[in-house]
Structure 1
Amino acid sequence: MHLTTLLTAAIVPFLGVRAAMLRFSCSQLVVDRLDPLVNPGQVPSPHLHQIVGGNSFNVTMDPNVNDISQTSTCTSCQFTEDFSNYWTAVLFFKARNGTYKRVSTVGNGLGYSASNGGQTVYYISNGAVTAFKPGFRMVVGNPAFRTQAEARTNPALQFTCLASPMTRSGYRYDFPTDTCAGGIMVTVRFPTCWDGKNTDSPDHQSHVAYPVNRNCPSTHPIKIPEVFYETYWDTRPFNNKALWPADGSQPFVWSFGDKTGYGNHGDYIFGWRGDALQRAMDANCNSDLIQDKLNCPTLKSQTIVNANKCSIQRKVKEDLDGWMKELPGGGME
């Protein structure tokens, strides 16, 4: 199901459907080689990530040790009661001479261009939902995938070649094969059904599931908000095809060495303070789709300028700004 269909379904309270859609900017918190879900305690982690959200993000994120909604002192997200952490892999450009350059994220052009990168986050409901519990976390996608058949098992992870910030068509599971005038948008949509018992699972996925024919399966009967990321990767500086591979193939690669794009994935750790997220879902809050209006009176918010001020120091000291002979961590294609 494409994003436009999802949003249409999510904002139809006038048809008698109980619906909510929070849409807000989360500025860049840090770009670092840490992954407290898949590689807890490991410094550095095998590949690079871009992280947004609360500033208590760290190498372990053990829910039994602290509650990130209480230990964070700021958030790079516009809703100030949201100290969750959201992260994805990092995109790189591989030039014809074999060197790599990190691609920056930019603010979503639909009202969030003041953001210093990061991503746009959505929480969507279509009917009553149960907000996540403290300690909840999940992962979607698989960095080992390299075929479209594998990628289609996670149909909500897609790429869009942006002709403009308004582009919402032409979804695909792999990297675009031509230059994109507005950059590349990567979307990550998480499952919306929960087993009602576990806030995590060994693979960080089994405790959640996608609905079947819009209904949650009996194994995962509890409807939860849909968490959705949109990340704008600024590939515009690399649109000169003289820098692309001599055979004309697309030049982008994920930080874990995937040049197909099929290994797209995302990570999430819940960190809303108190009952803030449940209040917003119960109040059917709906953000404006175009303008930067956080239309949810029950929640506290901050400007994007203030959200930009929340950041943390990189734990792994390595040059991420220049041209590199190999990917950080030595990821192989």
Structure 2
Amino acid sequence: MKWLPLVALAVPSQAYLRFGCATLSVQRLDPIVEPGRLPSSHVHQIVGGNAFNATMDPKIDIAEKATCTTCSFSEDFSNYWTAVMYFKARNGSYKRVPQYPNALLGSLTGGMTVYYLQNDFSTNGKAKITAFKPGFRMTVGSPTNTKGNNPGLRYTCLQDVMTRAPETAEFPAKPCPAGVMAIHHFPACWDGKNLDSPNHQDHMYNTGKGGFVTAGACPSSHPVRMPQVAFETMWNTTGFNDKSLWPADGSQPFVWSYDDSKGLGTHADYLFGWKGDALQRAMDSTPLLSNGIKTQSVDQANKCSVKSTIVEPIDGWLDKLPGNPMPM
């Protein structure tokens, strides 16, 4: 499939960036929550720049260190990652669920769709949108969450590759004809001071209402409006739709790599790495199509990767999940 230029993706709405990033690596590393730990507690799927490693010093601008990126914008060396989805068979064994790219984004290898919104799909609003700075990082969600109280963390049971509704807080309860889409919306209000915080969330404040709608006004404690970042990851669960493999009680069989079968603990990580002022130029642009950000081909994006630091089986049928899954 041929790579589609941004103009084909954004018409008629133009007030956002929407692009694909191929898979960079699948392994147990987490330089934000578990920096330097080899391996981290559970498996992640990572996209973006090839500076990704177990310890990413916030004093180092990764846009200057990386030499390639799996994202369609060649000036974006940021890293984006989530946990990995596994199928748990009736006999208790596990198998990693493959990913596939959004239908509009070409023949990428797995990966995810990334969004940066100024305000919503059709306008950049009236507020100044301040781009993230080198060293900035944040997370959304928590693997220990059992309440599902974040409206920006959702799932869609895909009837076809273009399905976008309805959304649920938990994993879909029935087999999905075209797979499962996991959605992660990050907060967009910054305290204006800290590039990180001890829990990687307190320097940001979430006024989002779920979905791609205009977020509420930023509070005085976090007055700086930043881009609204969101991920969409397409998980191809169709190879596991045979209900004879599902649990005998009929419950849904998919788990995150930390052994969450409800899906309420879904979470995601973001580490900024745009080159120079590219993202700020995009946020200042009306419409975004005039931002002049450089792009690259699908083939170039697919070629970028990093070697696995952790050598362990993560594919095929496994007797147990890699690492130390958290009891849910």
Deviation track 1:73-99 (CA, whole Å, cap 9, x = no partner) reads: 000000000000000000000001100
Partner letter of residue 215 of structure 1? A
Do 2:93 and 2:320's aligned partners in 1 also have CA atoms closer than 8 Å? yes
Matched, 1:151 2:141: no
Among candidates 104, 110, 121, match of residue 114 of structure 2: 121
Q: Could you give the per-residue CA deviations for residues 157-187 of structure 1, whole angstroms, max 9, x where no partner exists?
A: 0000000111111100100010111100000
8 Å contact 1:11–1:20 — kept in the other structure? no
Q: Which runs of 5+ in 2 are unaligned?
A: 1-9, 120-124, 209-214
TM-score of the superposed pair, with normalisation by structure 1: 0.88
Q: Give the aligned length.
A: 305
- 1:204 corresponding residue in structure 2: 200
For structure 1, the residue ranges without an aligned partner over 5 or more in a row are 1-9, 14-18, 287-294
Please give the secondary structure, in 1, of the residue aligned with 2:41: coil
Q: 8 Å contact 2:28–2:40 — kept in the other structure?
A: yes
Contact 1:22 1:285 in 2 (8 A): no
| Deviation per residue, 1:113-151 (Å, 9 max, x gap) | 4010000000001233000011000000010012xxx31
Structure 1 match to 2:307 = 313
Cα RMSD after superposing both structures:
1.6
1:291 counterpart residue number: none
AA of the residue aligned to 1:188: H
Structure 1 equivalent of residue 264 of structure 2? 262
4+ residue runs of structure 1 moved beyond 3 angstroms? 10-13
The Cα shift of 1:211 comes to: 2.4
Work out the CA distance in 2 between the residues paired with 1:183 and 1:320.
20
Cα 1:165–1:179 shift into 2, 3 Å: same
Tell me the secondary structure at the aligned position of residue 305 of structure 1: helix
Counterpart of 1:228 in structure 2 is 230
CA distance in structure 2 between the partners assigned to 1:237 and 1:273 by the alignment: 39
Q: Identify the residue that residue 97 of structure 2 maps to in structure 1.
A: 103
What's 1:43 paired with?
38
* Separation in 2, partners of 1:251, 1:284: 45
Quote the residue 2:185 is aligned against: 189
Q: Contact 2:106–2:298 (CA<8 Å) still a contact in 1?
A: no
1:24-35 equivalence runs, <5 A? 24-35=19-30
Shift of 1:330: 3.8
**Partner Cα distance (2:302, 2:290) in 1:** 21
Is 1:331 matched up with 2:325?
A: yes
User: 2:171 matched to 1:178?
Assistant: no
Letter in structure 2 aligned against 1:206 = D
Contact 2:281–2:291 (CA under 8 A) maintained in structure 1? no
Aligned to 2:136: 136
SS in 2 for 1:106: coil
- Displacement of 1:332 in angstroms is 5.0
Matched, 1:56 2:51: yes
Does the CA contact (< 8 Å) of 2:25 and 2:305 recur in 1? yes
In structure 2, the residue matched to 1:289 is: none
**In structure 2, what is the Cα distance between the partners aligned to 1:285 and 1:88?**
30
Q: Contact 1:106/1:113 (CA < 8 Å) preserved in 2? A: no
Match among 238, 245, 248 for residue 246 of structure 1 = 248
Distance 1:304 1:93 in 2: 29
Which residue in the other structure is 1:74 paired with?
68
Asked if structure 2 preserves the Cα contact closer than 8 Å seen for 1:157 and 1:188, the reply is yes
Task: Give the stretch that moved more between structures: 127-136 or 261-270.
Answer: 127-136
SS of 2:74's partner is coil
In the alignment, the residues of structure 1 paired with residue 290 and residue 274 of structure 2 have an alpha-carbon distance, to the nearest angstrom, of 15
Aligned position for 1:94: 88
Aligned to 1:5: none
**Which residue, out of 72, 94, 105, partners 1:112?**
105
The percentage of counterpart residues that share the same residue type is 55
1:302 aligns to 2:296 (yes or no) = yes
For normalisation by structure 2, the TM-score amounts to 0.90
Q: Secondary structure of 2:303's match? A: coil
Deviation at 1:306, TM superposition (A): 1.3
CA offsets, 1:182-202, max 9 Å, x none?
100000000010000111000
